[in-house]
Chain A
Amino acid sequence: MTAETLLTEMPSLSKLYVNAAATAAKSRLVRAEPVLALPARAIEVRGVSADLAKVTEFAHLMGEPARDVLPSGYLHAFVFPVAMSVMVQEDFPLPLLGMIHLRNDVEHLAPVLFSDELSVRAWARDLTGHRSGTQVQIVAEIHNADGTELLWRGVSTYLAKGVFLPGLDKPTTAAARVDFIPPAPTAQWRLGVDTGRAYAAVSGDFNPIHLSVLSAKALGLRRSIAHGMYAAARVLATVPQSKPDTFYWDIAFDSPMFLPATVSLEVVDHRTDDGAWLSSVFTAWDARTARKYFNGSVSAGRSVID
């Protein structure tokens, strides 16, 4: 990744959403030929740091103590404007609005403190076919101020449903659907209709599908849905209770959490013989219908996969 666009400041998410809507309208009118490849440049912003008031609100919304070390979910929200800037570029092949969040793979290589000056860099990779559209990965990295040390890396996988680009291989058959039999829950969340608005307020992610029934309907959903990152951040608030300096986690989303929702959650810890935490796996489902919402894992140490 050699070419890059250097931003002078952290972009505004609300402007990005407006731009995304404008781009969507324009491309419908003027884009004659579909773009078939990802832009080759990364987008980077340097010398940025966390908003302490927002960090505190974020942690409190998740029910965890606000520490000087930034929570993983907050870091995702922190890099999100840069990641989104990648997706609103003129030559980005997929429409941003209506994109479905499939999974996250995140690695913490060192604690990030609220007072740290940071560089954030994001780019797109792996444009691939999916049985119901086209998927793409957005990689976001947080480095220290001079870019010499990688502190955090998050890979978000998104699906543009119904968008099929010529020349991309796609799986011809759907993955075998395994019947989900809910285990005994270890926790339950009651998510009110305001869950999306509350998370938007602390994360800055005001995607209309999360805000209200009306704004969600405008984008083709029957009701508003909780942010996937709200779920991830809330799991990570207590899994594990105390975070090691290096750890990695992943989450895969099966179905949207329409609000209001009662979410059942199972967390299973794996420990050494002396009781030291190694990893946890978690699964969540709709407490009433037993439809699976998401599952994932959190592990101590460094990830072996890219």
Chain B
Amino acid sequence: MTTPTTPGIRKAVIVGGNRIPFARTGGAYAHSSNQDMLTAALDGLVARFGLAGEQIGEVAAGAVLKHSRDFNLTREAVLGSALAATTPAYDLQQACATGMEAVIGLSNKIKLGQIDSAIAGGVDSASDAPISVSEGLRAILLDLNRAKTTGQKLKTLSRIRPKDLSPDAPSTGEPRTGLSMGEHQALTTAQWKISREAQDELALASHKNLAAAYDRNFFDDLLTPFRGLSRDSNLRADSSMEKLAKLKPVFGKSLGDAATMTAGNSTPLTDGASTVLLASEAWAAARELPILADVVDGEAGAVDFVHGKDGLLMAPAFAVPRLLARNGLTLADFDYFEIHEAFAGTVLSTLAAWEDEEFGITRLGLDGAFGSIDRSKLNVNGSSLAAGHPFAATGGRLIATLAKMLHERGQVDGRPARGLISVCAAGGQGVVAILEAR
């Protein structure tokens, strides 16, 4: 009798990444489609690592704002690339955590020996967003398709009213609350008493850090220029506390004087794409490719935000403690923290929750506060406030950036440098992961 043999758990490693610079909505990529941008990011990755003609184990990517015609967006991008046409691909979507989930899911397949190589990615265009016909018109058009006689067709068409002709554009509103993400975060920011000044400081640090990273050519092997852009167009290297202080609040205005969230400390809508090359150690070695970092572990989380029990973007505050407990680690065991800056208030609310004793005891079930982090280890090469945040593309940006930082750092106190990534997402979700240097 034969029984199936499975190779068991092995390591999944990050070889490198490639993204296109992120552009503010309506800017350099105003007319570029998701497929244009994902293809550009993929083309650059293929060129950087000599993958032309290579059959990759699987490619997974997604977009949050996606046209229905792009149902096979990732596979189409693969077919348009120099990768072997025999490379399978699938689309996935977990709001702003799409890229993170793609990396974790594909890493798990590599760890299980199901595939030897993978490309994870994400893309989003807020400029070229799908606009759908109104629900009324949609129902009429579908009925029209089912109508058989001319009489039935005319009768169906006669149901169209002027209001049916106004299109529906996508929004960042939560379906269950009707509040935009910014309005949700404004409530959380106020709940954790995060000051305007603290948010502006975080935003300023993001711009300064990202500009410094560009200036020392940190992104040279992480980025391919596209449409004339070679840096993220949202980056304001000359930003200052004075300039940020002048901006008026845009979210939580109903809070009156407690409104602190401005266009400066909130991430703007952005267009862009990113990709990450993952592999088994043997696959990378056989092609003499670099190994930047191990994908150690990942965790998805969600909170009950609908009636305000927790903030919409607070899922990582719960997911990180679970992930660290499972791996026997504390916040003190990390050298870098990449906490996605959906809003400066999101990062600061998360840190505040971790430092709060009552939150630790009542919500996390710990003996006290979860802990605090050394702020000099936080988003050291800038993050979404400066780079922008094309929803599904942010995970790939963070993974590739952190993997390179860890690889450059090498060993710390006789152990590999270690980094934590935390990404919040719409729907009260979040995905977090641990990487270790190679």
Report which A residues bind B (CB closer than 8 A).
Answer: 52-53, 56-57, 59-60, 64-68, 114-115, 241-242, 274-276
* Chief secondary structure at chain B's binding surface: loop
CA distance A211 to B82 in the complex (A): 36
Q: Is B33 an interface residue (CB 8 A)?
A: yes
B-chain residues with CB within 8 Å of residue A60 when the two chains form the complex = 33
* A64 pairs with B33, CB closer than 8 A: no
Given A68-B40, A242-B52, A275-B53, does the pair A56, B32 have CB atoms closer than 8 Å? yes
B-chain residues with CB within 8 Å of residue A241 when the two chains form the complex = 79-82, 85
Q: Is B199 an interface residue (CB 8 A)?
A: no
The 0/1 profile, CB within 8 Å of A marked 1, for residues 76-92 of chain B is 01011110110000000
* B53 pairs with A276, CB closer than 8 A: yes
B-chain residues with CB within 8 Å of residue A275 when the two chains form the complex = 53, 84
* B81 pairs with A68, CB closer than 8 A: no
B-chain residues with CB within 8 Å of residue A53 when the two chains form the complex = 31
A-chain residues with CB within 8 Å of residue B228 when the two chains form the complex = 52, 114-115
Q: Is B189 an interface residue (CB 8 A)?
A: no
A-chain residues with CB within 8 Å of residue B35 when the two chains form the complex = 65
Chain B's interface size range is 20 to 34
- Cβ 8 A contact of A68, one of B52, B80, B226: B226
Closest A residue to B31 by CB, please name it: A56
Given A68-B227, A276-B53, does the pair A56, B81 have CB atoms closer than 8 Å? no
* Chief secondary structure at chain A's binding surface: loop
A-chain residues with CB within 8 Å of residue B53 when the two chains form the complex = 274-276
* A65 pairs with B31, CB closer than 8 A: no
Closest B residue to A271 by CB, please name it: B53
The 0/1 profile, CB within 8 Å of A marked 1, for residues 324-365 of chain B is 000000000000000000000000000000000000000000
Given A65-B36, A66-B32, A276-B53, does the pair A52, B80 have CB atoms closer than 8 Å? no
Given A53-B31, A56-B31, A275-B53, does the pair A67, B81 have CB atoms closer than 8 Å? no
Apart from the given pairs A64-B80, A66-B32, A274-B53, 17 other A-B contacts in the complex at a CB distance below 8 Å: A52-B227, A53-B31, A59-B36, A65-B39, A66-B31, A66-B33, A66-B36, A67-B43, A68-B225, A114-B227, A114-B228, A115-B228, A241-B79, A241-B80, A242-B80, A242-B81, A276-B53
Using a CB-CB cutoff of 8 Å, which residues 216-275 of chain B contact chain A? 225-228
* A67 pairs with B52, CB closer than 8 A: no
Using a CB-CB cutoff of 8 Å, which residues 54-91 of chain B contact chain A? 77, 79-82, 84-85
- Cβ 8 A contact of A56, one of B36, B40, B52, B80: B36
A-chain residues with CB within 8 Å of residue B227 when the two chains form the complex = 52, 68, 114
A-chain residues with CB within 8 Å of residue B85 when the two chains form the complex = 241
Nearest CB of chain B from residue A20's CB, rounded to whole Å: 32
A-chain residues with CB within 8 Å of residue B40 when the two chains form the complex = 65, 67-68
Closest B residue to A57 by CB, please name it: B31
Nearest CB of chain B from residue A49's CB, rounded to whole Å: 11
CA distance A57 to B32 in the complex (A): 9
B-chain residues with CB within 8 Å of residue A68 when the two chains form the complex = 40, 225-227
Given A56-B36, A241-B85, does the pair A65, B80 have CB atoms closer than 8 Å? yes
Name 13 interchain pairs, CB-CB below 8 A, sorted by A. Answer: A52-B227, A56-B31, A57-B31, A59-B36, A60-B33, A65-B33, A67-B43, A68-B40, A68-B225, A241-B81, A241-B82, A242-B52, A275-B53
Closest A residue to B224 by CB, please name it: A68
CA distance A144 to B225 in the complex (A): 20
CA distance A53 to B227 in the complex (A): 11
B-chain residues with CB within 8 Å of residue A56 when the two chains form the complex = 31-32, 36
Closest A residue to B53 by CB, please name it: A276
CA distance A274 to B52 in the complex (A): 12
A-chain residues with CB within 8 Å of residue B32 when the two chains form the complex = 56, 66
B-chain residues with CB within 8 Å of residue A242 when the two chains form the complex = 43, 52, 80-82
A-chain residues with CB within 8 Å of residue B80 when the two chains form the complex = 64-65, 241-242
Closest B residue to A65 by CB, please name it: B39
A-chain residues with CB within 8 Å of residue B225 when the two chains form the complex = 68
Nearest CB of chain B from residue A52's CB, rounded to whole Å: 7
Nearest CB of chain A from residue B212's CB, rounded to whole Å: 27
CA distance A246 to B85 in the complex (A): 21
A-chain residues with CB within 8 Å of residue B84 when the two chains form the complex = 275
Nearest CB of chain B from residue A116's CB, rounded to whole Å: 12
Closest B residue to A53 by CB, please name it: B31
* B79 pairs with A67, CB closer than 8 A: no
Nearest CB of chain B from residue A182's CB, rounded to whole Å: 25
* A67 pairs with B36, CB closer than 8 A: yes
Using a CB-CB cutoff of 8 Å, which residues 22-59 of chain B contact chain A? 31-33, 35-36, 39-40, 43, 52-53
Q: A65, A67, A276 — which one has the most chain B CB atoms within 10 A of its CB? A: A65
A-B pairs, top 4 by smallest CB distance, nearest first, are A242-B82, A65-B39, A66-B36, A65-B36
B-chain residues with CB within 8 Å of residue A67 when the two chains form the complex = 36, 39-40, 43
A-chain residues with CB within 8 Å of residue B33 when the two chains form the complex = 60, 65-66
CA distance A56 to B36 in the complex (A): 9
B-chain residues with CB within 8 Å of residue A52 when the two chains form the complex = 227-228
Nearest CB of chain A from residue B26's CB, rounded to whole Å: 13
Using a CB-CB cutoff of 8 Å, which residues 162-217 of chain B contact chain A? none
CA distance A56 to B28 in the complex (A): 12
CA distance A275 to B33 in the complex (A): 30
Nearest CB of chain B from residue A108's CB, rounded to whole Å: 16
Closest A residue to B86 by CB, please name it: A275
CA distance A114 to B53 in the complex (A): 26
B-chain residues with CB within 8 Å of residue A59 when the two chains form the complex = 36
CA distance A65 to B41 in the complex (A): 12
Closest A residue to B42 by CB, please name it: A65
A-chain residues with CB within 8 Å of residue B79 when the two chains form the complex = 241
